[in-house]
Structure 1
Amino acid sequence: MPSPRALGMYRQNATDPVEERVRTHAPLVKRLAYHMIAKLPASVEVDDLIQAGLIGLMEAARNFDPAAGAQFETYASQRIRGAMLDELREADWLPRHIRKSMRDIERALVKLEHQLGRAPNEIEMAQAMNLPLAEYQTLLADARGHQLIYYEDFDNDEGQRDALDGLAADFKSDPLNDLDEDAFRRTLVHSIEHLPEREKMVMALYYNEELNLKEIGAVLGVSESRVCQLHSQAIARLRAKLSDWTQNR
């Protein structure tokens, strides 16, 4: 059901068609939010998507024209998804130059892993990118590795589609969508299992135990900045694996 704060935007009036549409279709917002959250980073809170979706539902309820011929649920679904995607765009903080550096790291990871037949270490990665080890680690620290999926891809000159546009397209009515989500989860779990041991531990402590980077550093006996580097490199490895899955599915 809508939150009190969200519903407070409207006066309680049982005969108001706008209020009735919001109340009737509030479960649709939750369903769409949980559908979307399955393909987003753990840092995204489902409650934030639901709150944004409720605003989209309210706008849809207020602007809906029954004479236009469309069903309200169809119209509302589009507005709800749009509001959620707008919320994600606003939350996307990663600067363009850092995102480009991370894509460079991902490409180098893929190339080296194919050459070596195993996950490359940081020294090998730095050499492959013609960087001093300290500079490579600085790139990892700057990225802070919080996003498994980037919300927008600014460098479309490389032929990559906008990640949010792709995400929106994925939520169109498609009987294969649930199968795709299951395959995505299986690929992600498999990729995490094959991370280097220390990076896998960082991911488990961060996402399963919900420790912050400083707390993880205390567990591992390293600095917070070192945990940040390990986390970013783990994210880069996972993104490279998931990119292969997307291209080959």
Structure 2
Amino acid sequence: MYTATGRLDSGTLLKQYSPLVRRLAHQMIAKLPANVELDDLIQVGMIGLNDALGRFDIAQGVQFETFATQRIRGAMLDELRGSDWMSRGNRKQQRDIEAAVHRLEQKLGRAPQESEIAQEMGLPLEEYQEILTKVRGTQLVYLEDMSGDESGDEYLDRHVADEEGNPLSLLQDQRMRMALIEAIKKLPEREQYVMSMYYEHDMNLKEIAAVLGVTESRVCQLHSQSIARLRVKLRDW
């Protein structure tokens, strides 16, 4: 991977690590609305990889793949910041769903049904389900955003975090991990299946839809609803 002069062989490394760019782009696109294009993320990710090649210093004691991952994700995040990927209206609708779930859980002492959440929000069921599809973009349990406050730090920084301060690293805390596990156990059965297939078995929406015998859109709705429930549970943690 080095030239005769001891420098990184950029051409070889670009070819070797381009699958890393694609993998990171696929991971990120799963958390974002449908209007974000995969090819756009890959393109800016390759720019990030090229930037990593120019900046990498082996004397820092960091593996190149670790360093490159940070630069690639950083480039993708910068692109998303500039494209206003999720409207304020959609963010408000996500918070409204969570607020309705919270009120109903307090009142009913159990996980509310989908129709009950729609009624609490004063919406027909079909309109509520359409909103669930639209708010895709809060598609993971981002543990850094349990306050519900959209002011202050950048929304995107909390919802698609990079390696430092990544919610995944927070999950390594055993207490938080157990809280998440318990929250998932309290989801309605079908939503538990969706979460298990999506995160534990790394299945995509099409595959999950085939297993459940529903449309991909319906899986997306169930997933968004699960996230709203989990965020409510973990906010109280």
Is TM more than 0.5 here? yes
Q: Which residue of 2 aligns with 1:60?
A: 55
Matches within 5 A, 1:141-220: 141-144=133-136, 147-148=139-140, 158-163=150-155, 165=157, 167=161, 171=165, 181-183=172-174, 184-220=176-212
Q: What TM-score do the two structures reach when normalised by structure 1?
A: 0.59
Q: Which residue of 2 aligns with 1:68?
A: none
Structure 1: how far apart are the matches of 2:48 and 2:61?
13
Q: Which residue of 2 aligns with 1:86?
A: 75
Structure 2: how far apart are the matches of 1:42 and 1:243?
25
Q: Kindly, what percent of the aligned residue pairs are identical?
A: 44
By how many angstroms is 1:233 displaced?
0.7
Q: Which residue of 2 aligns with 1:135?
A: 127
Q: Which residue of 2 aligns with 1:115?
A: 107
Change (3 A) 1:85 1:113: farther
Q: What TM-score do the two structures reach when normalised by structure 2?
A: 0.61
By how many angstroms is 1:192 displaced?
1.6
Structure 2: how far apart are the matches of 1:165 and 1:127?
33
Give CA deviations for 1:103-134 in whole Å, capped at 9, x if unaligned. 21112212221222211111221122121222
Letter in 1 for 2:73: M
Change (3 A) 1:72 1:43: same
Letter in 2 for 1:15: T
Structure 1: how far apart are the matches of 2:212 and 2:200?
16
By how many angstroms is 1:234 displaced?
1.0
Cα pair 1:148 1:235 within 8 Å, conserved: yes
Q: Which residue of 2 aligns with 1:104?
A: 96
Give CA deviations for 1:78-124 in whole Å, capped at 9, x if unaligned. 99745523324536844442232112111221222122221111122
User: Which of these two proteins has the greater Rg computed from alpha carbons?
Assistant: 1
Structure 2: how far apart are the matches of 1:185 and 1:52?
35
Matches within 5 A, 1:10-29: 12-16=2-6
Structure 1 alignment gaps of length 5 or more? 1-6, 24-29, 31-35, 65-70
- How many residue pairs get aligned? The number is 206
Cα pair 2:49 2:71 within 8 Å, conserved: no
Change (3 A) 1:138 1:119: same
Cα pair 1:43 1:146 within 8 Å, conserved: no
Q: Which residue of 2 aligns with 1:230?
A: 222
Give CA deviations for 1:137-188 in whole Å, capped at 9, x if unaligned. 11112234672157xx9xx98435224545469549xxxx967632443332
